[in-house]
Amino acid sequence: MSTKSRGAAPVTLAVANQKGGVAKTTSVASIGAALAELGHRVLLVDLDPQACLTFSLGIDPEDLEISVHHVLTKGVDATEVIIETEDGVDVLPATIELARAEADLLTRTGREHVIKGALEQLAEELGDTEEGPYDWVLLDCPPSLGVLTVAALTAADGVLVPLQCETLSHRGVGQLLDTVHDVRRFTNRGLELWGVLPTLYDGRTNHARTVLETISETYDLEVVEPPIPKTIKFAEAPAAGRSILATSRSSKGATAYREVAGNLVERASRPKAAKKKPATRK
């Protein structure tokens, strides 16, 4: 049964960490599929020129004539670019052309607002349709703190930070939080840190748990539960063009992402005042 509330503005969540390989893209694809299973209308936005999200949803970026790059830099309507996928989510796909967007946008006034503007226009257009606007928009950020990540944070209600607990770097988290802090000051006062999502988690080692606790305490960050276990199943999913929720329905990883999605739905419905205070910088 659907748990969504119709007609409200979408919840826009940026999944960000400037470190590559921490499961940003996997988390976006899996949480998106899990939200769709719950009956939510979901849009995933690929903001990485490597286009791994696009590819993992069974779309070959090389076959695309228009992509998110055209929406952000050429004013093309997002509805012309969005593709429906077998995972029950829609995607605003990327191609390697997006690598140029950083440079193209650098000299543009209002560049921080390009994603926000495009999503607002989209919500307005879809508001007039029978299906209505999306319930969730998940932004798959590139592995940098450049223009696209800042624009994603500017468009977002919340930011979720996937962290690989094994190779965790404190300095990286600090830099990301500094960026979040700047975005709050200059472009998006309402941005909330939804917390860290432990990924590639090896629960057999105490090390992972210790690192996670240290990070959460040092930066006063909430931890979104449950941790996503490290499993080989994830390596197989992208090649199949489907998320792990479809390729290994009842695997531990799929179950964990379903639980995370449920917790995010709960998080989204919390009244603002009850949400945790913004993290202070240390």
Q: Which residues bind ligand ADP (CB under 6 A)?
A: 20-26, 52, 143, 199-200, 228, 230-231, 234-235, 253
Residue 243 binding Mg ion, by CB under 5 A = no
Closer of 124 and 166 to ligand ADP (Cβ): 166
Query: Site residues for Mg ion, window 9-28 (CB under 5 A)?
Result: 24-25
Q: Which is nearer to Mg ion, 133 or 201 (CB)?
A: 201
Minimum distance from residue 135 beta carbon to ligand ADP (Å) = 23
- What's the closest the beta carbon of residue 257 comes to ligand ADP, in angstroms? 9
Pairing of strands 158-164, 11-15: parallel
* Closest to ligand ADP by CB, 126 or 224: 224
* 22 touches, from ligand ADP, Mg ion, none (C-beta below 5 to 8 Å by class): ligand ADP
Smallest gap, in angstroms, from Cβ of residue 121 to ligand ADP?
Answer: 27
Q: Cα 251–257–261 angle (5° rounding)? A: 145
In whole angstroms, give the CA distance from residue 141 to residue 149: 6
Q: Rounded distance, CA 15 to CA 44, Å?
A: 11
Binding-site partner at residue 4 among ligand ADP, Mg ion, none, CB < 5 to 8 Å by type: none
**Closest separation between CB of residue 49 and ligand ADP, Å?**
12
Question: Could you tell me if 168 and 221 are in contact, meaning their C-beta atoms sit under 8 angstroms apart?
Answer: no
User: Amino acid identity, residue 215?
Assistant: I
Task: Return the C-alpha torsion angle 61, 62, 64, 66, nearest 10.
Answer: 90
Question: CB under 5 to 8 A by kind: which of Mg ion, ligand ADP, none does 110 bind?
Answer: none
Q: Find the shortest distance in angstroms from Cβ 56 to ligand ADP.
A: 8
Q: Please, what's the b/e burial string for 249-280 (b: 16 or more CB within 10 A of its CB; e: otherwise)?
A: eebbbbbbbbebbebbbebbeeeeeeeeeebe
CA atoms within 13 Å, Cβ hemisphere of 125: 10
Residues in contact with Mg ion by the rule CB under 5 A: 24-25, 48, 52
